Amino acid sequence: MMEVRLGLKENWKQFTLLVIINGFVGGMIGLERTVLPELAEADFGIAAKSAILSFIVVFGISKAVTNYYTGVFANGMGRKNLLVTGWLIGLPVPIILIYAAHWNWIIGANILLGINQGLTWSSTVVMKIDLVGDRNRGLAMGLNESAGYLAVGIVAFLTGWIASEYGVRPYPFYLGIGFAVTGLLASYFLVKDTGHHVNSETKASQVKKLNNVFRETTWSNPNLGSITQAGLVNNLNDGMIWGLFPILLASKGFSLAEVGKMAAIYPIIWGLGQLVTGKLADIWVKKSMLFWGMLIQGIAITTMIFATSFTHFAILSILLGTGTAVVYPTFLAAIADYTHPEQRANSIGVFRLWRDLGYAFGAILTGLIADFFGVDNSILSIGLITLISSLVIKLRMD
**In this predicted structure, what is the pLDDT of residue 239?**
87
Q: How far apart are CA 331 and CA 231, in angstroms?
A: 7
**In this predicted structure, what is the pLDDT of residue 1?**
45
**In this predicted structure, what is the pLDDT of residue 262?**
85
Tell me 284's DSSP state: S
What burial class does residue 306 get, using C-beta atoms within 10 Å of its C-beta: 0-12 exposed, 13-18 middle, 19+ buried?
exposed
Q: Which candidate, 264, 310, 313, places its Cα nearest to that of 162?
A: 264
**In this predicted structure, what is the pLDDT of residue 314?**
95
End-to-end CA distance of the chain: 42
Are 265 and 317 in contact by the 8 Å Cβ rule? The answer is yes
CA distances from 203 to 200, 336, 347 (A): 6, 16, 19
The answer for residues whose C-beta is within 8 angstroms of residue 361's C-beta and 6 or more apart is: 60, 232, 236, 239
Tell me 218's DSSP state: I
Are 66 and 119 in contact by the 8 Å Cβ rule? The answer is yes
User: Is the alpha carbon torsion for 113, 281, 9, 347 positive or negative?
Assistant: negative
Sequential pLDDT tens for the chain (398 residues): 467 889 999 999 999 999 999 999 999 999 987 888 888 888 888 876 777 788 889 999 999 999 999 999 998 999 999 999 999 999 999 999 999 999 999 999 999 999 999 999 999 999 999 999 888 899 999 999 899 988 988 998 899 899 999 999 999 999 999 999 999 999 999 999 999 999 888 887 888 899 999 999 999 999 999 999 999 999 999 989 888 888 889 888 998 888 888 888 988 898 899 999 999 999 999 999 999 999 999 999 999 999 999 999 999 999 999 999 999 999 999 999 999 999 999 999 999 999 999 988 988 899 899 999 999 999 999 999 999 999 999 999 98
**In this predicted structure, what is the pLDDT of residue 48?**
67
Q: Please, where are the H alpha helices in the chain?
A: 12-33, 36-44, 49-52, 54-77, 79-90, 93-99, 103-132, 137-166, 171-189, 195-204, 213-215, 222-251, 256-280, 286-303, 310-337, 341-373, 375-396
Phi, psi of 136 (to 5 degrees): -130, 35
The radius of gyration of the chain from alpha carbons, rounded to an integer in Å, stands at 20
**In this predicted structure, what is the pLDDT of residue 4?**
84
